[in-house]
Amino acid sequence: MTDDLTRLRGLLDSTRLDREPDDSAGYLDVLGDDGEQPRTVAGLAMRSGIVASIYQRGWRQGLNLAMGTGGLGPSEERRYAAESLELSKASLVLDVACGPGNFTHVFASAVPQGGLVVGLDASRAMLAQAVTDNVVPGAAYLRADARHMPFADRTFDAICCYAALYLVPEPFTVLTDMLRVLAPGGRIALMTSYRGSWEPQRLARGALSVLSGVRMFEQGELTGVLRSAGMVDIEQEIRGAVQFVNARRPL
């Protein structure tokens, strides 16, 4: 096991594990064959080796174009996420639904020396790609379900979840679990869909949602959960069919 995987192993809360983590594929796997099979087109795509192999090389950029993020390309988006999370002050970072580690490896170079960034995803195909392309010092990958993550409360200084809440079956369960594992003073950065306010646009995005399985969030849904959970410094930026939401947990 590499040093970073050993450090990740040390972060796991044994009371939340159903099995001994398996490190044979280059990441820690605590799901085994228990991972739920997605039931939507978008969810199934994330389990495909083909999509995983092209995700970082065009698919993600295409997603930004399709969602109309107004010229915000993958590298600007990663920079924006790193700044929102104040990574220069964070030593333990969690990248929830990390896909092929396209943000995780960049975060690892933004944290102080000795920091650790954990990329968590449920897809074997995505994590195999992460191990091929994005293993760098200070990054380690975990196969787990974002709805019930195997970490103790208040573990992480910063948590990112980009381009995933609209795909997971129970996004508010994922959000609640992220808030559970966020340390006091820690920051969270989310990027997900936005249904829009103009009725024809709402109808079109609603239809797309039904066809693809990509959930469309209302403007106040995520910010409302964060506010109710006592989060502060809540910021929301809307770009096309996307919303970026940042917040901090008080000390």
Under 8 Å between Cβ of 138 and 112: no
Under 8 Å between Cβ of 159 and 93: yes
DSSP secondary structure, 192-211, as one string: EE---SSHHHHHHHHHHHHH
Task: Decide whether 9 or 147 has the Cβ nearer to ligand SAM.
Answer: 147
Q: Does 123 bind ligand SAM (CB under 6 A)?
A: yes
Q: How far is the CB of 78 from ligand SAM (least distance, A)?
A: 9
Query: Residue number with the shortest CB distance to ligand SAM?
Result: 99
Q: How far is the CB of 250 from ligand SAM (least distance, A)?
A: 26
Degrees, nearest 5: CA angle 161-29-113: 60
Rounded distance between C-alpha atoms, residue 224 and residue 210, angstroms: 24
113 closest CA partner among 88, 150, 93: 88
Binding mask 79-108 for ligand SAM (x = CB under 6 A): ------------------xxx--xx-----
Binding mask 19-58 for ligand SAM (x = CB under 6 A): ---------------------------x------------
Task: Decide whether 80 or 229 has the Cβ nearer to ligand SAM.
Answer: 80
DSSP E strands, the chain: 28-29, 92-96, 116-121, 139-143, 156-162, 182-193, 232-239, 242-248
Q: In the numeric block, which tokens belong to residue 103?
A: 């943000």
DSSP secondary structure, 61-110, as one string: HHHHHHTT-TT--HHHHHHHHHHHTTGGG-SEEEEET-TTTTTHHHHHHH
Degrees, nearest 5: CA angle 7-8-13: 115
Task: Decide whether 35 or 185 has the Cβ nearer to ligand SAM.
Answer: 35
Q: How far is the CB of 158 from ligand SAM (least distance, A)?
A: 14
Q: Does 162 bind ligand SAM (CB under 6 A)?
A: yes
Binding mask 167-186 for ligand SAM (x = CB under 6 A): xx------------------
Q: Does 145 bind ligand SAM (CB under 6 A)?
A: yes
Instruction: Kindly determine how many residues on this chain lie close enough to bind ligand SAM according to the rule CB under 6 A.
Output: 19
Task: Decide whether 110 or 163 has the Cβ nearer to ligand SAM.
Answer: 163
Rounded distance between C-alpha atoms, residue 178 and residue 1, angstroms: 27
Q: How far is the CB of 64 from ligand SAM (least distance, A)?
A: 9
Task: Decide whether 53 or 185 has the Cβ nearer to ligand SAM.
Answer: 53
Q: Which residues pair with 120 in a beta bridge?
A: 96, 142
Query: In the complex, which residues of this chain contact ligand SAM (CB under 6 A)?
Result: 46, 60, 97-99, 102-103, 121-123, 126, 145-147, 162-164, 167-168
